[in-house]
């Protein structure tokens, strides 16, 4: 199955302008993400889709294609859909993976699990362990699922009746047909209210598969997130003591099992 990854990376991020170019371990964030996707071995081609030549320049030394468009898009996946439609390099892709440009810890496990979640679904995505502190953070998107299918995405605390939640990781694997359908849908009221593009798909009845990883993840949405990530890379742990990396992939894809914190780590 030919798989193309598209990394949407705007310069004018609303909450953190220019974040795609902030240095993480001496490398621009967008270059770190692109390098990780290239090294994952999960995709055949990588495109960085941006609105700014400086972002293209930041990945110039990597084996990626750059797509430059100043057209405004509703969401990152809309930019991905337009990029796929415009580039011959993506014309035969059966699966398209939207890797959000602020996912500093994306790796082969995350990409592999997102593609696994696409089996029998329109969209595949990933959840990671959620700490009690993160339950209360608006910038941490949560996901609840049952039987490997998403039931709910939100920014607040999880509705109790839906069971345990995971922290949603900003990676979406689409079938080619599903991506085109998603981009053709009107924005839904919950999508606009919560500023979550995945609610457009969920509200339209599209099937979103979810798989879990054990390693905690944190996207960089704000300057505060940047400092948290930089600290974690130096110390090797998050603020609650959970390790940044090195955790094994779960032996089973059980959503509830993967929601538990690693043994010996703070919840």
Q: Establish if 30 belongs to a structural domain.
A: yes
Confidence of residue 250 (pLDDT cuts 50, 70, 90): very low
Look at 212 and 164; give whichever has higher pLDDT.
212
Whole-model pTM above 0.85?
Answer: yes
* Triad 7, 8, 9: Cα angle to 5°: 110
- Residue 257 φ/ψ, nearest 5 degrees: -65, -45
Q: Establish if 82 belongs to a structural domain.
A: yes
166-175/95-99 β-pairing: antiparallel
Q: How many whole angstroms separate alpha carbon 155 and alpha carbon 93?
A: 32
Mean pLDDT across the chain: 88
Judged by phi (left if over 0) then psi (alpha if -120 to 50, else beta), residue 24 lies in beta
Please name which of 49, 14, 19 lies closest in space to residue 34, comparing C-alpha atoms.
Answer: 49
Residue 86 sits in a domain of what CATH number?
3.90.550.10
Q: Establish if 264 belongs to a structural domain.
A: no
Q: Residue 243: helix, strand or coil by DSSP?
A: strand
Q: Establish if 71 belongs to a structural domain.
A: yes
Model pLDDT for residues 51-69, shown as the tens digit of each residue = 999 999 999 999 999 999 8
Domain count, the chain: 1
By residue range, what is the domain housing residue 138? Answer: 3-258
Q: Establish if 266 belongs to a structural domain.
A: no
Confidence of residue 245 (pLDDT cuts 50, 70, 90): low
Model pLDDT for residues 68-120, shown as the tens digit of each residue = 988 889 899 999 999 999 999 998 899 999 999 999 999 999 999 999 999 99
pLDDT at position 60: 97
pLDDT at position 257: 38
What CA–CA distances, in Å, run from 40 to 105, 187, 212?
A: 12, 32, 17
Q: Establish if 207 belongs to a structural domain.
A: yes
Q: Establish if 202 belongs to a structural domain.
A: yes
Q: Establish if 267 belongs to a structural domain.
A: no
pLDDT at position 200: 96
Look at 122 and 262; give whichever has higher pLDDT.
122
């Amino acid at each position: 199955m030919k798989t193309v990854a598209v990394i949407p990376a705007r310069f004018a991020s609303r909450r953190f302008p220019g974040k795609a170019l902030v240095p993480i371990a001496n490398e621009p964030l967008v270059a770190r993400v692109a390098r990780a996707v290239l090294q994952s071995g999960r995709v055949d081609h990588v495109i960085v889709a941006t609105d700014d030549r400086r972002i293209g320049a930041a990945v110039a030394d990597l084996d990626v294609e750059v797509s430059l468009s100043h057209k405004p898009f509703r969401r990152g996946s809309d930019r991905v859909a337009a990029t796929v439609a415009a580039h011959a390099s993506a014309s035969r892709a059966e699966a398209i993976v939207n890797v959000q440009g602020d996912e500093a810890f994306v790796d082969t496990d995350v990409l592999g699990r997102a593609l696994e979640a696409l089996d029998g679904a329109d969209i595949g995505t990933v959840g990671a362990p959620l700490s009690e502190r993160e339950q209360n953070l608006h910038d941490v998107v949560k996901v609840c699922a049952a039987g490997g299918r998403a039931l709910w995405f939100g920014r607040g605390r999880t509705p109790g009746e839906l069971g345990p939640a995971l922290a949603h990781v900003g990676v979406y694997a689409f079938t080619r047909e599903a991506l085109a359908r998603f981009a053709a849908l009107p924005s839904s009221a919950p999508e606009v209210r919560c500023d979550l593009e995945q609610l457009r798909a969920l509200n339209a009845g599209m099937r979103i598969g979810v798989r879990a990883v054990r390693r905690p993840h944190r996207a960089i949405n704000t300057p505060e997130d940047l400092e948290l990530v930089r600290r974690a890379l130096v110390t090797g742990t998050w603020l609650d003591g959970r390790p940044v990396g090195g955790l094994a992939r779960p032996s089973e894809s059980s959503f509830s099992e993967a929601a538990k914190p690693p043994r010996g780590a703070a919840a």
